[in-house]
Structure formats: C-alpha cells, structure tokens
C-alpha cells in the first residue's frame, strides 16, 4: 500500500533509516520505488555549461568559483545557435531533458533575454528544459515560466549546519527563497546536494530532512558525489565510503517517494556495480553525455551498454511541451540498438 508523502520528518527517524542494515535499507527503498515508478526506467538529462567560470560565489567544491585557481578556461555566455545545436545533439543521442547551467550569482538584466530565448528554442526542439542560473527573483521566475521552462535546479548543497563551511557568499535561507519563487511560478523544482565534502553523517541527515520537509518535494533530487577539483579547498578531502553514498540514495528515495532521485555528479569515478546498486536503491535519473558542466561524465556509449546490461530503458519525456510524452525516432534509437545487441 502506498502512503502519502510526508513533510514532517524528524532527525531521529532519518538517522534510524541510515542505521538500518544495508540489505534492509535497500529492500525497503526498492519496495517504495516500485510503488511509484517503473523500476527499470531511468530518466536521462544532458547538461551544458552555457557560461563557464569567473563566478563571484565561493563554493568550496566548485571549479568555476573565481575565488580559487583551478586553471579552468572561462567562457562568455554561449550564443543561441551554439546552445541549440548542442541541444539537438543531446536529443539525437537520446536525452529527453536539456539542462543549462551558468556560473552566476544571479542572471543579469543584460543576459536574461538571451537566456529566455534559449529556453524557448530548446523547448521547440521537443526537449524538456532545465536551467540553473543561481539566485532568482519572483519576476525572473515568472518570465522563465512564460518562456516554457520546465525545471529549475538550485541545490541546498548540504545541511544548514555545515553550509557555512562550504559557502559564505550566499546564505542557506536565500536558497530556500529562490526555491519558493520557482515553486510559486509553477516551475518544477530540482534540488539536492553534494556528499563527500567532509561532512558528518548528521549533515547528510540534515540535508535530506530540509529537502523532504519542503512544502512540496522537489520533483527531481540530484545527489552529487563530490568531484574533487584541483585548486579548490576540497581537493584533498577524504572519500565518502561508497556504501554511505548508496545509503544516501536509498534514504532520499524513502523520504521523497514520488521524486526522481538523480545519481548525479561522480559517476565517472564509480564502477558499473556501484551504479547498479544506486539504481537498486532508488536512483532513477542520470546526467547523460560525456561532460557534466566542466568535468567528465561517462561516455554516452558506456551508459547505453550499462543500461542494456541491466535491462534498464530510458524514461520517456513527460512534459507540457511540444512533443509531449512522445519519443520519436531518432530519439532513443541508440538505446534500442544497445538493448537489442545485449539480448533484451
């Protein structure tokens, strides 16, 4: 029996989930997953950095912060044609959502019209649209919604208590304000965080509690494993135990049963077995394509093979945009070929 999602999780309840024996936790997460989703479908999004580097924020994990010398090549806001041609490629390769990220504190009035044009153009291609541009005002969220934005990504990143150790130039409550504007505008919320930043187990509990106790659960919850970037203050932080990463996915699945939980950054550093366990724990979304924003992601061909070996198929797009719900050739042709050659 499926129970209505809760928004009143207490720390001690979440801690007890994390403390369950691994098999008990995964069994429970998988049971909940099956009540709400096709257990063999995974949503696939492709990411593009539309404006790279020289960010005024001081996020200690990030290659794009202007506060650290990471050797990253900076780029201006991309031209509309470049973004649309990348989106076309993503669609041809089988992605159903196109996520565009900019290294900004917030979008400027000068750049905003081009951003809106990107949303309109990507949507016209029949892809779901997602943007992550930093802090937004209520007026900006309304304009994005009008342009056809489906999702806005803005992560809480970590617990309220650990947050100041990671970012000092933007406050936790400001993040919640942006999420509230996004929700009020009728845009779907994509919000999660990063683990493996030297946080304590209680911070992973705190992050999930904040997300699960939002008035409405984010439709998409990216769980990123820190990609260590040379030159940032976190470049030498200890690795998180891989089982604790899988536990994080499983507990997110239990707390937010109807949300897509994304196995997000860090897959390039994971083996296939680890990713398979993350899918079993309830992850049902990935970034697909050989680049995240500035770092490597597994090759699309490797992901197709992994899906085929696991009998996983990409989830069809569900959105109010042009092609609503229909995946037509050539979308997914590659996945289909990989599945066939793996004997499915």
Give the active site residues: 55, 59, 62, 99, 130, 190, 262
Contact (CB, 8 A) for 61 and 165: no
By the rule CB under 6 A, 65 interacts with ligand SF4 = yes
CB atoms within 10 A of CB 25: 21
How many positions of this chain bind ligand SAM (CB under 6 A)? 18
Question: Given the complex with ligand SF4, which of 48 and 312 has the nearer CB atom?
Answer: 48
Peptide bond into 330 cis (omega under 30): yes
Spatial distance between the Cα atoms of 135 and 185, rounded to a whole number of angstroms: 14
CB 110, min distance to ligand SF4, A: 18
Nearest alpha carbon to residue 122 among 151, 102, 157: 151
Q: How do beta strands 285-287 and 313-314 pair?
A: unpaired
CB 59, min distance to ligand SF4, A: 3
What character string, x for contact with ligand DTB (CB under 6 A) and - otherwise, covers 151-190?
--x-x-----------------------------------
HSE, CB side, 13 Å, CA atoms: give it for residue 291. Answer: 13
By the rule CB under 6 A, 157 interacts with ligand SAM = yes
Q: Which partner in ligand DTB, ligand SF4, ligand SAM, none is near 226 (CB below 5 to 8 A by kind)? A: ligand SAM
Question: Given the complex with ligand SAM, which of 91 and 262 has the nearer CB atom?
Answer: 262
Contact (CB, 8 A) for 255 and 275: no
By the rule CB under 6 A, 154 interacts with ligand SAM = yes
Spatial distance between the Cα atoms of 173 and 156, rounded to a whole number of angstroms: 9
By the rule CB under 6 A, 55 interacts with ligand SF4 = yes
136: tokens are: 């937004």
Question: Given the complex with ligand SF4, which of 132 and 323 has the nearer CB atom?
Answer: 132
Q: Which partner in ligand SF4, ligand DTB, ligand SAM, none is near 65 (CB below 5 to 8 A by kind)? A: ligand SF4
Contact (CB, 8 A) for 198 and 240: no
By the rule CB under 6 A, 285 interacts with ligand SF4 = no
By the rule CB under 6 A, 196 interacts with ligand DTB = no
By the rule CB under 6 A, 224 interacts with ligand SF4 = no
Q: Which residues have C-beta within 8 Å of that of residue 285, sequence separation ≥ 6?
A: 42, 43, 44, 45, 220, 222, 260, 261, 262, 263, 315
Nearest alpha carbon to residue 294 among 25, 71, 35, 92: 71
Among residue numbers 14 through 73, which ones bind ligand DTB (CB under 6 A)?
47, 63
CB 266, min distance to ligand SF4, A: 15
Spatial distance between the Cα atoms of 81 and 121, rounded to a whole number of angstroms: 9
By the rule CB under 6 A, 64 interacts with ligand SF4 = yes
Binding site for ligand DTB (CB under 6 A): 47, 63, 101, 132, 153, 155, 192, 222, 224, 227, 264-265, 292-295
Binding site for ligand SF4 (CB under 6 A): 55, 57, 59, 62, 64-65, 103, 134
């Amino acid at each position: 029996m499926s129970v209505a999602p809760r928004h009143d999780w207490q720390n001690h309840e979440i801690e007890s989930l994390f403390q369950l024996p691994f098999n008990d936790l995964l069994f429970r997460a998988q049971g909940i997953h099956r009540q709400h989703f096709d257990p063999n479908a995974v949503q696939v999004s492709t990411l593009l950095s539309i404006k790279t580097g020289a960010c005024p924020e001081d996020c200690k994990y990030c290659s794009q912060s202007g506060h650290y010398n990471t050797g990253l090549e900076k780029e201006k806001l991309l031209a509309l044609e470049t973004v649309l041609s990348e989106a076309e490629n993503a669609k041809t390769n089988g992605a159903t959502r196109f996520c565009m990220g900019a290294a900004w504190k917030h979008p400027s009035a000068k750049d905003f019209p081009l951003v809106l044009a990107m949303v309109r153009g990507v949507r016209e291609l029949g892809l779901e649209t997602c943007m992550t541009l930093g802090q937004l005002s209520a007026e900006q969220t309304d304009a994005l919604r009008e342009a056809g934005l489906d999702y806005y990504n803005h992560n809480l990143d970590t617990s309220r208590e650990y947050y100041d150790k990671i970012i000092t130039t933007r406050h936790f409550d400001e993040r919640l304000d942006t999420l509230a504007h996004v929700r009020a505008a009728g845009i779907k919320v994509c919000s999660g965080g990063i683990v493996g930043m030297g946080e304590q187990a209680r911070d992973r509990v705190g992050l999930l509690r904040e997300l699960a106790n939002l008035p409405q659960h984010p439709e998409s919850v990216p769980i990123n494993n820190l990609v260590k970037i040379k030159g940032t203050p976190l470049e030498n932080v200890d690795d998180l135990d891989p089982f604790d990463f899988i536990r994080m996915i499983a507990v997110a699945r239990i707390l937010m049963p109807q949300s897509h939980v994304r196995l997000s950054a860090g897959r390039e550093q994971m083996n296939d077995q680890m990713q398979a366990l993350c899918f079993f724990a309830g992850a049902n979304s990935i970034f697909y394509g050989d680049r995240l924003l500035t770092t490597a992601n597994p090759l699309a061909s490797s992901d197709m093979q992994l899906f085929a070996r696991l009998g996983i198929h990409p989830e069809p797009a569900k959105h109010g945009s042009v092609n609503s719900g229909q995946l037509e050739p050539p979308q997914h042709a590659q996945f289909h070929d990989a599945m066939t050659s793996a004997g499915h």
